A and B are shown apart, each in its own frame.
Chain A
Amino acid sequence: MTQMISPQEQEMLSAYLDNALTPRERQRLETQLQARPELRAALEELRQTRQLLRAAPALRAPRNFTLTPEMAGLRTRPPRVYPAFQWAFALAMVLFVAVLGGEAFFGSPAAMPAADVALVPQAESFTLEEAPVEQAPMEALESSPPYIPPNTRNTGETPREEETAPGIAESGPALEQTPTPGEFIVAAEPPTPTLEPTFKSAPTEPVEDPLPVAEEPMTTTMMSEPSADQGGGDGDTLYDTAAPAPQTNFWASPWRIPQAILAIILVLSGIGLLVFRRKTML
């Protein structure tokens, strides 16, 4: 029955089902349908087929097909400053190693001042031995009971005291004659004994006189431990520099500043690289 249907008629029937014919084509086909039962049968079979297809269940996606950034090719590119961080890190690393190597190879210029400072106590001990009279009051003050804690804390060097022992012994009589506690009390009683009068009086008084000489260091040590002194300038500078010597030597080295700068650059550029790398990985 349907074998008699031509492909053109089959196409017309198909389009007729979809209302895709022009009014003229539609009218002509309907006329033929009334006249030809095989054409009606073919149309009905086609309608059944179309119904079956349209009744097919719509499938749902078995999973979500949303895209990840990797799937979409959206790997976040590192920012343009990323190479700058890389270069900064690499350059800072090279320079840092070079500076460290340079310090190790050429030696630290800071070693010299450190050595000088290390030698100062010995030199001071020699001066003490050579001029026991001038340094005697100072040593006497150090050896006097009320002043031992601060001065020994500053010097912190027991050998020096052993070395100065002979000096003290030489000036023993003078020291013993000086009423050290009394002087201490007298010097402490004035509420604000300024340094100026002491400095003014110091040069005028004879060096051999232990009494005024003894007063001067007492007042200075009473007012402020490390500050200016007159006669025993060498001794005070020794006390000032000897205590913080290790830290001062470390940072006084000219290698430290570039090392610190390079270390900071290394840390900052490293952090920057890690941050950008993490963002890139995300």
Chain B
Amino acid sequence: MDEPALIHAAQHGDLTAFNRLVLAYQDIAYNVAYRIVGDPDSASDATQDAFISAFKHLSSFRGGSFKAWLLRIVTNTCYDELRRRKRRPTTPLEPLNDAEEEIESPVWLKDPGETPEERAERADLHYAIQDCLNGLSEDFRTVVVLVDIQGMDYEEAATVTHKPLGTIKSRLARARDKLRECLQSFRELLPNSFRLEEQVSL
């Protein structure tokens, strides 16, 4: 994929070229959105809105990392979604299935390729992480999602959040410390491999 050519074509209104960029980045965008907003439906809405906004404001992209530019739009759209949710808290605590029954957590349905034990273990981990992420403030959550879940470096995270590197450092440290405290309560749910690794490392 010739990303600069696609971006250039999309900037001139080529929707097909832009949609190729969408297909290339939609997993990352949705992953970030899901980690920030915390539920799949809102994450889907935020991701879709973010791509729409990205296409409409593509002329403001002046080069550099398209991924960082796009994820900035995604995070801003997620903030809008969170604010909208605060104004109208109609979303149930747990999503409903087709029979209008509460699903304890949709994340339990992820990774079907794993064994039931591995799946349960990873689901525990997934649930624990997401629950702890939801307890963070938006700014801290975004930084830790970008750096620790998406694997960005500080510069990229600073580009996405439009914050200086020092802010990224401090926010990341605070977020990790809070997550550490939060995950203490899920320690019995954490996989043995992490505990063993902890023992070995100690």
Which of these, B26, B148, B177, contacts A61 with CB under 8 Å? B26
Q: Which residue of A lies closest to B51 (CB)?
A: A65
For B22, list chain A residues within 8 Å (CB): 64-67
B18 touches A52 (CB 8 A): no
Bound CA span A65–B126, Å: 24
Q: Identify which of A9-17, A161-169, A191-199 touches chain B.
A: A9-17
Which of these, A51, A59, A63, A66, contacts B110 with CB under 8 Å? A59
Count of chain A residues with a beta carbon within 8 Å of a chain B beta carbon: 38
Shortest C-beta distance, B87 to chain A (Å), equals 24
Interface: A7 (CB within 8 A):
yes
| Residue of A20, A52, A59 most packed against chain B (CB within 10 A) | A59
A14 touches B148 (CB 8 A): no
B44 touches A53 (CB 8 A): no
Give residues of chain B (166-196) contacting chain A, Cβ–Cβ below 8 Å: 169-170, 172-174, 176-177, 179-180, 183, 190, 194
B173 touches A53 (CB 8 A): no
Instruction: Given A56-B125, A62-B40, answer yes or no on A11-B169 (Cβ-Cβ < 8 Å).
Output: yes
Instruction: Given A49-B176, A50-B176, answer yes or no on A65-B148 (Cβ-Cβ < 8 Å).
Output: no
Q: Which residue of B lies closest to A56 (CB)?
A: B129
Shortest C-beta distance, A65 to chain B (Å), equals 5
A45 touches B52 (CB 8 A): no
Bound CA span A74–B170, Å: 43
Instruction: Given A14-B169, A72-B56, A74-B15, answer yes or no on A65-B47 (Cβ-Cβ < 8 Å).
Output: yes
For A7, list chain B residues within 8 Å (CB): 170, 173-174
